[in-house]
Amino acid sequence: MPIRGHCLCKSICFELTGPHNWVGHCHCDSCRRGAGAPVVTFIGHPNGHWRWTGARPTQFTSSAGNYRYFCPTCGSSVAYASDRYPDEMHFHAALLETPAAVKPSEIYHEDERLPWHLDATA
């Protein structure tokens, strides 16, 4: 069964089929700034098993070999690709119509994690 997602205005839509390569949180400065969030959860999905079902997003080369995709209408960041990972696209998990369909099991660039945290004992 496909998993679907979309940007804020629903102009950019995507569909993922089959198993994901991975699902994880990224704390790197570039991802945080690209998404305007303290952490970004991505779904690494194999090429050939996803497709744009709405308008195509705009591509921004954030640094050599790194591409960020966003909606030109509402500005939502929707995906990331890199020459380092030529066989997959990284989609924002927060954009899924059913976010509970994925469960992160990886953490990337934890050394760049922002120092903010909630103290559960407070």
Task: Give residues with Cβ within 8 angstroms of 15, minimum separation 6.
Answer: 2, 3, 4, 5, 50, 51, 53
pLDDT of residue 46: 98
Q: How far apart are CA 97 and CA 101, in angstroms?
A: 9
Name the DSSP class of 25: E
pLDDT of residue 115: 86
Domain ranges of the chain: 3-93
The CATH number given to 3-93 is 2.170.150.70
pLDDT of residue 120: 54
pLDDT of residue 116: 77
pLDDT per residue as tens, the chain (122 positions): 899 999 999 999 999 999 999 999 999 899 999 999 999 999 999 999 999 999 999 999 999 999 999 999 999 999 999 999 999 999 999 999 999 999 999 999 989 998 876 555 55
CA angle 113, 114, 115 (to 5 degrees): 115
